[in-house]
Amino acid sequence: MNRLHQLYMEMIRYYQGDAARIQHFVKVHSFAKYIGEAEGLTETVQITLEAAALVHDIGIRAAEKKYGYSNGKLQEQEGPPLALEMLENLGFDAPVIERVCYLVAHHHTYEPVDGLDYRILLEADALVNLYEDAVHEEGVKAAYEHIFKTETARNICRMMFEIEKR
């Protein structure tokens, strides 16, 4: 089993009993994987993106335990040490771990975006959150204009939410 498959199962174990969070990271990973492949990422950047998509919300439980809630900033604060430990235990390469931890520490920060892996992670998470949070039409359109930059994610968003192409 490759490291990404191991990480996938480790995250299911991590969220055992929490079907909603498992469903969330699985959907974010699926969109990230597809968008990254369609946008032609290199193998290492693709692996980094997929690993980040799997662990992007790993800080939620720690934030809830420590603070009683888990907003985006707390997720960004609490997530990297947990991601680091999990990725090291699974034998990921140091540069991949470093970048994944950076992405986890910034996955609710929309500017500045430094890299296509970062952009795609934001887009994949937004595609899932717009649906899961039942965001109204104007909110979807605003997200479409401000978050979605890759042509692949823009196409998916337009089709999912029936946004007119401009």
Using pLDDT thresholds of 50, 70 and 90, give the confidence band for residue 128. Answer: very high
Average pLDDT over residues 48-73: 96
Using pLDDT thresholds of 50, 70 and 90, give the confidence band for residue 164. Answer: confident
Quick one: pLDDT at residue 140?
97
Closest residue by Cα to residue 29 from 127, 147, 113, 105: 127
Residues in the chain: 166
Predicted TM-score (pTM) of this structure: 0.96
Name residues whose C-beta falls within 8 Å of residue 79's C-beta, 6 or more positions apart in sequence. Answer: 55, 56, 57, 58, 59, 60, 62, 104, 105
pLDDT tens digits along 135-161: 999 999 999 999 999 999 999 999 999
User: What's the CA gap between 31 and 28, in Å, rounded?
Assistant: 5
Quick one: pLDDT at residue 81?
98
pLDDT tens digits along 25-55: 999 999 999 999 999 999 999 999 999 999 9
User: What is the residue-averaged pLDDT of the chain?
Assistant: 96
